[in-house]
Amino acid sequence: MKYTEEIFNILSRGGFISANSVSPTVKRYYDALEEDFTEYYDYYKGIGFYLEAGNGYYLFTRQETRVDLERKLEAVGKWIDYLSFLKTYHSAFGPGFLFRRADIEVQIGCNMELKEKASRLFSDKKKFGEVVEKLVAELEKAGMIELENEHDETYKVLTAFHYMEEMVDCITILEDTSDEISE
């Protein structure tokens, strides 16, 4: 097994290792995980981390205490808002999608629904450019996007973005099920 420390450093901070990463190094980590998943799983399980494979990405999960679960539920609400904003910006926003911050800012100026959503994303940011900058920083920090082209500031959405979409889909399914039961 190679890269155990490097993989741990990324995943233990809540990051993702995505198949379509722009970084050759991250792609090597992904390939190593693909090749020896069981060995990596057993290794990290021994220190309390559970290696999970998603749709083109890897992440760590842990058994959580009740306090941690409540904190995570609050974070889920934030990610739902991010996803709603991004899908309003462009319905195809997802893995492989390329975008520039400037394009999002232009769309905010043209789309009233997007403008409303942007104004609610970060209460401490008043200008839409600041909102977009903070959102991009959050997505980049989480490992959902990477800067693909420094010259024109083009970002690429990574396969880890599926995690957010799947999380929201699960919530939608639960709401639909409860609605059907009450009818």
Q: Residues 36-56, buried b or exposed e (16+ Cβ, 10 A)? A: eeeebbebbeeeebebeebeb
Q: Which amino acid is at 85?
A: F
What is the per-residue pLDDT for 77?
82
As to burial, measured by CB atoms within 10 angstroms (0-12 exposed, 13-18 middle, 19+ buried), residue 79 is middle
For residue 181, what are its two tokens? 């039961």
Backbone φ, ψ for residue 48 (5° rounding): 90, 15
- Tell me the per-residue pLDDT of 103-144, one tens digit each, with 9 for 90 and over: 999 999 999 999 999 999 988 888 999 999 999 999 999 899
What's the Cα-to-Cα distance from 75 to each of 38, 65, 144, 182, rounded to whole Å?
Answer: 30, 15, 15, 28
Mean pLDDT computed over every residue of the chain: 88
- Tell me the per-residue pLDDT of 164-181, one tens digit each, with 9 for 90 and over: 888 777 665 444 544 444
As to burial, measured by CB atoms within 10 angstroms (0-12 exposed, 13-18 middle, 19+ buried), residue 18 is buried
Please, are residues 54 and 163 in contact by the beta-carbon 8 Å criterion?
A: yes
Q: Which amino acid is at 172?
A: T
